Structure 1
Amino acid sequence: MDRERRLAALFDMDGVVLDTEGQYDNFWREQGRRYHPDKPEFHKMIKGQTMELILKNYFEGNVALQQQISLELDEFESRMDFPYFPGVELFIRTLQKHGVRTALVTSSNNKKMAHVLMAHPEFTELFERVITADKITRSKPDPECYLLAARELQMEVDVCCVFEDSFSGIEAGRRAGMKVIGLTTTNPREKIQDKVDWVLSDFTGCVYDEFIGLMER
């Protein structure tokens, strides 16, 4: 690949940019204990999915319960911490310095993003586009969200690279026809390494030249 060719990096948010999955595990583990005790791994089963899909798949037919869980999640997210993963902000800024286009692609809704932007107003500098659950009709693992990000950036899929941690997100990136870098922040290396092009534990050792090398393969 010509190094002058523009590239795009598309980042999932929770579990990739922000170290929040442990907090979500606590919330969804409790929901699973209360409403799906037959599914001890419930908090893992819903990783990467939009709230709409979770409610449809696991709480369909009970509107009152769906509304209750939605309100509980809204309240929970209003009190969350949103710490960065080590090295991720520097890595994104380095990509931008070299002309790489950047977008955030998350299963979170606009209400959640409002809380995140209060904690991290610099997101408006880090990401040219933000794709939330409110912009799509089909949740990951459907590739709609990543294809939309590429369109909004006016980039072809073959120059886009997805950064993901969940199985559903990795599959979405794959189905979009993009390179996929998997983070071991949610699943161990051995569980994702055959599903991605490159595996990272975090961004502290991730440098621009390695990113370019992956995109040139």
Structure 2
Amino acid sequence: MEIQAVIWDMDGTLLDTEPCYMEAEGSIVKRCVGGDIAEVTHALLGKTENDSANIVINHFKLPISKEEYLKERYINLMRLLPNAQVLPGVWELVNEFELRGIRQGVATSSPKHLLELKRNAHPDLFNRFQTVVCGDDVKNGKPDPEIFLLTAQNLDVAPENCLVFEDAPAGLIGAKRAGMKAVGILNPHVNKSLYEECIPDALFTSWTEFSLDRLNANISK
């Protein structure tokens, strides 16, 4: 199998945004009921904005509407997300793939208004991608494969020739359902067994550990 395109997830994969989300959502939970957002962090990874809101509100039985929750969350994220940094190893891999002639795109569950906060903070990075598909562009969120298939279509590359980079089990499942190869970066808030159940092609603690040549060799065995 020849890797002709790489599809990146964004939050927790390209950018270290999880601390931003934990603070933005955690402050609402703490203010309303005094709970700890870490109780549901594992369930929020890779989910759409609406699905995440439903999980948090239902789990903690928040005394506010989904609209109120999302409005306060967005206000918090407007302040926090511009400070999110690119994860270690990302720039090196983006440059390597470009030199190898591998097309690159982004498939993120984030809605457009949150995507733009991150894109505006890192224009040099996002300008390197041939397509960026967000949660507003599809009907079904991860683990449905729709967002990965649309990204591959935009890149004009067959799914079997795509490699997905993800941090969420839901994203890894969606990538495999799309018929793609998929590698994951471990999230400390998620039990490793949940990643292993997704049957990824490789798991890493940092993208600095990734080697395309080594992955290709393992896939060919």
Under a length normalisation based on structure 2, what TM-score does the superposition of the two structures give?
0.84
Structure-1 residue corresponding to 2:131: 129
User: Given that residues 28 and 73 in structure 2 are in contact (C-alpha distance below 8 angstroms), is that contact kept between their aligned partners in structure 1?
Assistant: no
Letter in structure 2 aligned against 1:71: K
- The 8 Å contact of residues 142 and 172 in structure 1, kept in 2 or not, is answered as yes
1:168–1:32: structure 2 CA closer, same or farther, 3 Å change rule?
Answer: farther
User: Which structure 2 residues correspond to residues 85-124 of structure 1 after superposition, within 5 A?
Assistant: 85-124=87-126
Q: Do residues 49 (structure 1) and 47 (structure 2) align?
A: yes
- Cα deviations across residues 60-83 of structure 1 (Å, max 9, x unaligned)? 8x9x71111111122122112220
How much does 1:148 deviate?
Answer: 0.7
CA–CA distance in 2 between the matches of 1:38 and 1:84?
26
Q: Distance in 1 between the 2:37 and 2:104 partners?
A: 37
Q: Give aligned pairs, total.
A: 212
Tell me which residue corresponds to 1:157.
Answer: 159
User: Partner amino acid for 1:123?
Assistant: L
Compute the displacement of 1:11 (Å): 0.8
Give matches, 1:54-93, under 5 Å.
54-56=52-54, 59=57, 65-80=65-80, 81-93=83-95
CA contact (8 A) 1:182 1:193 kept: no
Cα separation, 2, equivalents of 1:29 and 1:116 = 20
Higher deviation after alignment, 86-95 or 205-214: 205-214
205, 213, 216: which one aligns with 2:217 = 213
Alpha-carbon RMSD: 2.6
Is 1:28 matched up with 2:37? no
Look up the SS of the partner of 1:9 in the other structure.
strand
State how far apart, in whole Å, the 1-side matches of 2:95 and 2:219 are.
Answer: 18
Aligned to 1:168: 170
Q: What is the alpha-carbon distance in structure 1 between the residues aligned to residue 46 and residue 3 of structure 2?
A: 28
Measured in 1, the distance between the counterparts of 2:85 and 2:96 equals 19
Q: Judging by fraction of residues, say which structure has more helix.
A: 2
String of CA shifts for 1:180-205, please: whole Å, max 9, x gaps: 10101343545423521101111213
Name the SS for the 2:7 alignment partner.
strand
Q: Which amino acid aligns with 1:192?
A: Y
8 Å CA contact 2:138–2:147 kept in 1: the answer is yes
CA shift for structure 1 position 136: 0.8
Secondary structure of the structure 1 residue equivalent to 2:143: coil
What's the CA shift for 1:138?
A: 0.8
SS at structure 1 position matched to 2:160: helix
**Unpaired runs of at least 5, structure 2:** none
> Aligned to 2:207, what secondary structure does the other structure show?
coil
Is the contact between residue 50 and residue 108 of structure 1 (CA under 8 Å) also seen in structure 2? yes
Opposite residue 206 of structure 2, the aligned amino acid is D
Deviation at 1:48, TM superposition (A): 1.0
Distance 1:25 1:7, change over 3 A: same
Q: Which amino acid aligns with 2:195?
A: I
Same amino acid, percent of matched pairs: 26
Distance 1:39 1:26 in 2: 9
Query: What is the Cα deviation at residue 26 of structure 1?
Result: 2.9
Aligned counterparts of 1:38 and 1:6: Cα–Cα separation in 2: 41
